[in-house]
């Protein structure tokens, strides 16, 4: 039973394509396991699409963007773009239909334990796995500056030493379970923590997590700027 879900502000930013790949993938992985969020995403996508492609939406922008001209705003837009568009159509219809390739299921192995890789991670480059005690970690090389994304495997009985984060730390539990001072977490849980959280996760039966964390040192720039519109995410 999934108990922890992304906030709606995060789902909105996800649908709008405004989140970095690391967080987008985290939400996609969660939604794959969570029908409730899946439905929220589907509904919100329908709404955003409807609004994006409504005529009024377009009209509003035409009025804003067209400078003084003897023609009406709408005519001017058509004139300036029509020729390009005709060429574009002619070029596009020459291309053949895409042959769809069925998605290949990928797996990842940690010390003999094999896991199915979530589809969202299928084309992400993986680094070599580092082992520290009962922890194994593989970085996903997303090249997002201070945001670090990993697959973290905790062997049965293992845990992560008590820590806090000056930035944020997202954990999506892919398999197994763990617990900390706040409670138990199960497969599919989407756990977003910030600096106010101090925790010491322990996994009795072992688990695999997808984690995204940022480097606190640079928090006031990069990611913070990105997350400002959804500031309530970090409370």
Partner 1 sequence: MQTNLLSKPTNDKSSHMSDKINHPQLCQWLQSVAQNRDQQAFTHLFKFFAPKILRIARGKFPNEAQANEVVQDTMSNVWRKAHLFNQDKGAVTTWVYTVMRNITFDMLRKIQGNKEDNLSDDIWPIAESMSTESDAFDDHLENKALLSVIDKLPQSQQDVVKGFYLREMSQEQLAKHLNLPLGTVKSRLRLALGKLKVQLGEKYD
Residues that bind partner 1 (CB under 8 A): 15-17, 21, 24-25, 28, 31-32, 35, 38, 41-43, 45-46, 48-50, 52-58, 61, 65, 77, 81, 84-85, 88-89, 92-93, 95-98, 100, 119-125, 142-144
Shortest separation between residue 20's beta carbon and partner 1, angstroms: 8
Q: Give the nearer residue to partner 1 in terms of CB position, either 42 or 217.
A: 42
Cβ proximity to partner 1, 63 vs 130, nearer residue: 63
SS3 state at 146: coil
Nearest distance from residue 2's CB to partner 1, in Å? 13
User: Is the Cβ of residue 63 or residue 217 nearer to partner 1 in the bound state?
Assistant: 63
Q: Look at the block and give the residue holding tokens 């837009």.
A: 77
| Dihedral of alpha carbons 39, 43, 46, 49, sign | negative
DSSP 218: G
Q: In angstroms, what is the minimal distance from the CB of 85 to partner 1?
A: 6
Place of tokens 């987008």: 24
What does the block give as tokens for 95? Answer: 């291309």
Neighbour order of strands in the sheet with 147-154:
126-132, 135-144, 147-154, 207-214, 169-176, 190-193
């Amino acid at each position: 039973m999934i108990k922890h879900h992304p906030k709606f502000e995060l789902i909105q930013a996800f649908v709008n394509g405004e989140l970095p790949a690391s967080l987008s993938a985290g939400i996609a992985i969660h939604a794959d396991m969570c029908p409730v969020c899946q439905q929220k995403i589907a509904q919100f996508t329908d709404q955003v699409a409807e609004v994006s492609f409504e005529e009024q939406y377009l009209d509003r922008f035409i009025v804003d963007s067209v400078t003084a001209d003897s023609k009406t705003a709408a005519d001017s837009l058509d004139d300036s773009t029509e020729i390009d568009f005709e060429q574009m159509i002619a070029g596009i219809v020459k291309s053949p239909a895409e042959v769809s390739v069925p998605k290949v299921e990928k797996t990842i192995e940690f010390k003999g334990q094999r896991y199915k890789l979530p589809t969202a991670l299928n084309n992400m480059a993986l680094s070599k796995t580092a082992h520290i005690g009962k922890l194994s970690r593989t970085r996903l090389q997303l090249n997002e500056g201070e945001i670090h994304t990993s697959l973290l495997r905790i062997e049965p009985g293992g845990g992560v030493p008590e820590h806090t984060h000056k930035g944020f730390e997202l954990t999506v539990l892919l398999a197994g379970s763990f617990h900390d001072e706040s409670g138990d977490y199960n497969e599919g849980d989407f756990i977003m923590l910030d600096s106010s959280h101090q925790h010491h996760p322990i996994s009795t039966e072992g688990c695999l997590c997808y984690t995204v964390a940022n480097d606190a040192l640079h928090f006031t720039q990069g990611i913070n700027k990105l997350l400002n519109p959804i500031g309530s995410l970090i409370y």
